[in-house]
Structure 1
Amino acid sequence: MGGARFGRASDGPGGAAGSYEVTDIACSYTSCPHTRGQLRALAHAYAEEILAKHVCVTDLLEWFPSITLPLAVFLETTGPIRPRYYSISSSPSARPGHVRLTVGLVEGAAWSGTGRYRGTCSAYLADLTPGETFYGHVRTPIPSFRLPADPTTPVILIGPGTGIAPLRGFLEERAHTASTGPIELFTGCRHPKHDRLYGDELDTWHEAGRVRVHTAYSALPGHPIRYVQHAVAAEADRIWDLLEQGAHIYICGDGLRMAPAVRQALAQIYADRTGDDGEVRLRRLETEGRYHQDIFA
């Protein structure tokens, strides 16, 4: 079960420590002297034992069965669950009334040191069975992350892992409308047999000439480690040719490492061929509405 992580009960916008912590609240709802002593010990090492280990409300309730926290207090302590947003990975033209999502299940050893952690929303979606109903809403991305209005415009799609989600929707859209604009897709995963998302579908589109697919594998035995930025650099001539034809660039996925690395590779392509500052040229693409990002931390 997921639970909201603890903060300090009266932290302000600047994050300063408040006058009490949730361990104090828990102490108020147990009559067990041993449990109170353990909670006080946690309170004395709050930053190290609670915050750093991402201990959540349900962790404390599982560790200390003698805590009888009223539901109203539990809800006040945890706060609301933030909404999760996922890129749609299907085309509304190809399948009207249907939405496909590509979601990576967040799962691993709990930072608290006991049990395993499963992402609140990704685990919920993964556990749904066919025919079940769940609720969500569709929102328009801001800034707009959509294909150019002219279907003949070349596009360069870059998205490893689940970053392929909206790009797969773009490919389905262009395949459905038989668009003739050149498409280069750069994607990546660890191993072709383990986590290559939509592999068969991408191969079919590639063989049909609808898209040129470039896949970087980071854990393929007998091969060097390659990430998507390496695949981009290897196709520098092709990318430059498409940019000269007015291509749009779309990048989706990790915003901490992947997106900056890809941007650096693209800037280098500009610098090598023009002698100009590549970053300046990329900012110009952004101004022209030809450089699009849908990235997350």
Structure 2
Amino acid sequence: MKLQVINSPFNEEQVKLLNELLPKLTIEQKFWLNGYLSAPQATLEAIVEQAPPAAQPITKTITILYGSQTGNSQGLAEKYAAALKEQQIDVTVSSLGKFKASNLKKITNLLLIVSTHGEGDPPDQAIQFYEFLHSKRAPRLEHLQYSVLALGDSSYEFFCKTGKDFDERFAQLGATRIVPRVDCDVDYDDAAAQWFSAVQQEFLQHTTSATSTSAHTEGAQVLEESTYSRKNPFYAEVLENINLNGRGSNKETRHLELSIEGANFHFEPGDSIGILPENDEQLVNALLTALQFDSETEVTVFDETITIKEALQKKLEITVLSKPLLEKIAAYTEHKEFSKLFEEPKAWKDYAKGRDLLDLVEEFTPFTWSAQQFVELLRKIPARLYSIASSQKANSEEVHLTIGKVSYETAGRQRLGVCSGSVAERIQIGDTLPIYVHKNPNFRLPENNETPIIMIGAGTGVAPYRAFLEEREELGIEGKAWLIFGDQHFVTDFLYQTDWQRWLAAGTLSHMHVAFSRDTDQKIYVQHKLHENAASFYEWLEQGAVIYVCGDEKSMASDVDATIHQIIEQQGQKTPEEAKVYVNELKQQKRYQRDVY
């Protein structure tokens, strides 16, 4: 932000000098100048005669801990740490996986930024810290001031549960909140920024008022977005949109190639691309008809006045029925059947599965809401994240994605995934998609090129491994690289088959095992291939290999995790508890990395 002196009592020359000087001042110089000008006139000469003292750093210290699965919490932690350091505050930033829980007794100010994973679970690297804090070994923390920023997704039943659990547990142990916990939905930017501003204000309240005010301004400057982001996406031209599955497949998997020329994107294998999707126009029209709203009716959403049709198509989520949304809708209907959704603990969940707002409006009409009241119930359409399937070193002006079309039938109506359906059925070559880079520092190739890697994935979960191997090929890296891939049929669903064969021939990929579940009477999955090669798998682990798992969490990833524990028990001759400790150590050492959804 450039400061400008206008409408002032200064003459033209003085204004010019001030406008040249002010932008060049550090925050410490501004504090000193503010105090100097506020001093009594009689003391000014004495102040000027002395050399101004060196700026004394604020003695406050703060620790920022993060628990991150996909990188959001880590990104916020690092951004806020940079802002606090600009205010001369001593900041320590650490992953919960690396922080020694016993050190809680040594710190006095703590900010915790943590996501919730799966069915209310902590991120992988936060599990050990979470278990310690909820054990009898946890220390009393009366000396500690803290605040929690919880990240989550309100479409899940256990929204922000990990953050809530940490917040409550710190309080139980005697710690004092700096500011109340804030629970963030998938569109977390504004809520997170408000939490951080409140933290800054409370944390700096014992410094001078000049410090607090200037620190807030300086912090805002640090947090300004300077590149394309979720709030300011880059519109990438579609260069290719190919169905990877063969004729007769039960699946449709799209290989998308996007031009990023001029975007100045920087990404690494393991990162993702976020796409900001739109709802299907036909679904929007059907919903407006059921609501009996004129499509041209104007509403205000996110401080913008637009037609309700544009709001529902481009801004608001209409395809997911979450518990918070159903609870808000209850205020606008007296339909007796609607109230039954909350009589049994799982009733709402059973109803919401696979259904959308059109189902609900058609089934429970009439409602008493206005168009404006209706849109205020809805949240912003969440971005969809897709693992990058290409190396920027090999394709500097392109990014490749692997997107599986979501298609299913519920209550007699065919449904499509908001983004995957659009990519499969409506997006043509030459169209543009609004995208941004989502960093994922928790899914990275090892720094040492000699480290063995074991890549496990099914279906579209193979996407990041294509980026891994393309990167290694570009760098000329050969070594122990093992891919275990699964899908339904060899003939129709062997995604990127020619790429893997080429890398096997070249030595970029040294081992590969495949599992096609529907080619035999007995279904074979990737975890079965792990069992078949248990001795080799454990040997690779003992040699320092890094395990990567990418794909569906509820089925594939959880089964693979159980198999890994079993192999370590059997091959390492360990008890279940010893195997659990072994796996936790792998996670802490970043030798067991998961990108699951």
- TM-score range (shorter-chain normalised) is 0.7 to 0.9
Q: Which moved more, 1:118-127 or 1:101-110?
A: 118-127
1:8-157 map, 5 Å: 17=327, 21=330, 24=333, 40=335, 42-43=337-338, 45-46=340-341, 52-54=350-352, 55-59=355-359, 71-110=371-410, 113-126=411-424, 127-142=426-441, 144-157=442-455
The question of 1:289 aligning with 2:584 is answered: no
The question of 1:219 aligning with 2:518 is answered: yes
1:169-208 map, 5 Å: 169-208=467-506
1:29 aligned partner: none
Deviation of the 1:259 alpha carbon: 1.8
In 2, Cα distance between equivalents of 1:243 and 1:5:
41
Deviation of the 1:115 alpha carbon: 1.3
1:5 aligned partner: 320
Which blocks of at least 5 consecutive residues in structure 1 are unaligned? Answer: 12-16, 25-38
1:244-294 per-residue CA deviation (whole Å, 9 max, x = no partner) reads 221111111121222222122222332223322322211111122211111
Deviation of the 1:138 alpha carbon: 0.5
The question of 1:279 aligning with 2:594 is answered: no
Deviation of the 1:239 alpha carbon: 1.8
The alignment of Structure 1 onto Structure 2 pairs a total of residues equal to: 272
Deviation of the 1:10 alpha carbon: 7.6
Which residue identity lines up with residue 216 of structure 1 in the other structure? A
Deviation of the 1:133 alpha carbon: 0.6
Which residue identity lines up with residue 471 of structure 2 in the other structure? E
Q: 1:233, 1:265 within 8 Å by CA — same for their partners in 2?
A: yes
Q: Which moved more, 1:64-73 or 1:88-97?
A: 64-73
Deviation of the 1:51 alpha carbon: 5.9
Which residue identity lines up with residue 154 of structure 1 in the other structure? P
2:177 aligned partner: none
In 2, Cα distance between equivalents of 1:66 and 1:23:
9
Q: Which moved more, 1:52-61 or 1:241-250?
A: 52-61
1:190-210 per-residue CA deviation (whole Å, 9 max, x = no partner) reads 101222211222122223332
Structure showing the higher strand proportion among its residues? 2
Q: 2:479, 2:507 within 8 Å by CA — same for their partners in 1?
A: no
SS of the counterpart of 2:335?
A: helix
2:539 to 241, 244, 258: 241
Deviation of the 1:40 alpha carbon: 3.2
SS of the counterpart of 2:557?
A: helix
- Structure 1 pair 8–158 and aligned structure 2 pair: CA distance change class (3 A): closer
1:44-81 per-residue CA deviation (whole Å, 9 max, x = no partner) reads 54469976333433345677999998653442233222
* Structure index of larger Rg: 2
1:133-177 per-residue CA deviation (whole Å, 9 max, x = no partner) reads 1112112115x2110122221100001111111111111111222
Q: 1:6, 1:78 within 8 Å by CA — same for their partners in 2?
A: no
Q: 1:4, 1:81 within 8 Å by CA — same for their partners in 2?
A: no
Which residue identity lines up with residue 215 of structure 1 in the other structure? V
Which residue identity lines up with residue 286 of structure 1 in the other structure? K
Q: 1:252, 1:293 within 8 Å by CA — same for their partners in 2?
A: yes
Which blocks of at least 5 consecutive residues in structure 2 are unaligned? Answer: 1-279, 284-317
2:565 aligned partner: 267
Q: 1:162, 1:253 within 8 Å by CA — same for their partners in 2?
A: yes
1:88-131 per-residue CA deviation (whole Å, 9 max, x = no partner) reads 11111111131111111111102xx1311111121122221111
SS of the counterpart of 1:103?
A: strand
- Structure 1 pair 52–260 and aligned structure 2 pair: CA distance change class (3 A): closer
Q: 1:217, 1:227 within 8 Å by CA — same for their partners in 2?
A: yes
- Structure 1 pair 78–155 and aligned structure 2 pair: CA distance change class (3 A): same
1:31 aligned partner: none
1:33 aligned partner: none
Q: 2:406, 2:420 within 8 Å by CA — same for their partners in 1?
A: yes
In 1, Cα distance between equivalents of 2:563 and 2:340:
45
In 1, Cα distance between equivalents of 2:335 and 2:568:
59
2:242 aligned partner: none
SS of the counterpart of 2:583?
A: helix
Which residue identity lines up with residue 228 of structure 1 in the other structure? V
Which residue identity lines up with residue 378 of structure 2 in the other structure? T
- Structure 1 pair 10–95 and aligned structure 2 pair: CA distance change class (3 A): closer
- Structure 1 pair 61–284 and aligned structure 2 pair: CA distance change class (3 A): closer
- Structure 1 pair 146–49 and aligned structure 2 pair: CA distance change class (3 A): closer
2:168 aligned partner: none
Which residue identity lines up with residue 135 of structure 1 in the other structure? P
Which residue identity lines up with residue 5 of structure 1 in the other structure? V
In 1, Cα distance between equivalents of 2:494 and 2:517:
11
In 1, Cα distance between equivalents of 2:496 and 2:417:
23
In 2, Cα distance between equivalents of 1:149 and 1:250:
15
Which residue identity lines up with residue 270 of structure 1 in the other structure? I
Question: What is the root-mean-square deviation in Å for CA atoms of aligned residues?
Answer: 2.9
Q: 2:551, 2:557 within 8 Å by CA — same for their partners in 1?
A: yes
Q: 2:325, 2:378 within 8 Å by CA — same for their partners in 1?
A: no
SS of the counterpart of 1:123?
A: helix
- Structure 1 pair 23–105 and aligned structure 2 pair: CA distance change class (3 A): farther
